[in-house]
Structure 1
Amino acid sequence: MTKLLHIDSSVLGPHSVSRRLSAAIVDRLRHTTPGLEIAYRDLTAAPLAHLSGTHLAAAQGNLPSDPLLQQELAAGQAVLEEFLAADILVLGAPMYNFSIPSQLKAWIDRILIAGKTFRYTAQGPQGLAGNKRVIVALSRGGYYGQGTPTAALEHLESYLRGIFGFIGVTALEFIAADGIQVGPEHREKALANALEAVSQLQAA
């Protein structure tokens, strides 16, 4: 059975473009892939704690006695296991101040684990999660394509490409809605184009 993990990170709830796109992607795959098993995680509704020195010390074997920290470590382990078990990841990722939401960064910090999703070798780091299909639903308020005045500020797609490439996922699929804050017409056109791209996605 194919397992799909659906992650949302927008703080805008029903007003979020990235949430609408990620839901459309999951719906498309649900209808084209019989028996698809879907797990959902909302990083805003149930945020992970940001990394602290105590978290890093625990990763080195210094387990905390604080019950709250133990819960946070257990949550981080659950997130990692959930990611490792998934065959497909559908990720809703809006651009906030030219980069990813902090809630999404906290999630990424839980899945980039040496020995689990990558390892260091004499030839350099080697990704261990390259067998996954990753589809990212992006939303950006402006335009950041090559040649635009703000291209150098694009640290959303470029960051995610780097992160997932590091753990071995190189065949990333991006569906983007750009210019959604430029004006209502731009928003509707961007959303329509992105939803059309969703309708063309191949089955799992």
Structure 2
Amino acid sequence: MPEFETADLTERERARIVKTAVSPRPIAWVGTTSPDGVDNLAPYSSYNYVSSAEPVVVFNSPNADHGGLKDSARNALDTEEFTVSVVTEPLLETMDATAERLGPEESEFDAFDVERAPSKTVTPPRVADALVSMECTLHDAVEVHDRLMVLGDVTRFHVADDALVDGKIDSQNVPTVGRLGGPFYTASTPLPFERQN
């Protein structure tokens, strides 16, 4: 089995290995509103939750020293608010389109005809067609090498009726999309296997 010293690899080679090994990666479709009132929407495949009892989610963005903060991260820091909409198979193509870099004065919601849904506890809108979305306030931001970790306290959940079974969210009804290494995505299809422990 080949082995590689991290220091001997290029930045691109290291990124390719870790992004392929750590997969599938869930995608946060992050909604923000700039201080000037422009709604931004962008996908982040470096995303997860940190705490569940008191829900905190995290998405990671290139930091100022590595190409500059993306609009979503900058808006989240400036306003201390953001939303996360869960990406499912019917939304894949639209989500991918919103990865295009637009100017900070342009809204991906408008450019790609993504319907907004109003939030209750924060200003930024959510994706109306998302089966699950979360309203978040900034918990903290931490720089780790080339990334800025943006952590948000979840203040409100929105779950579509179609995602529920007996009043509880059911992953079989939420066909999430994940990111693989390179240009690839994958869809979650539950395996016929039940966890024993």
Please identify which structure carries the higher strand content. Answer: 2
TM-score w.r.t. length of structure 1 = 0.24
> Please, what TM-score do these two structures have when normalized by structure 2?
0.25
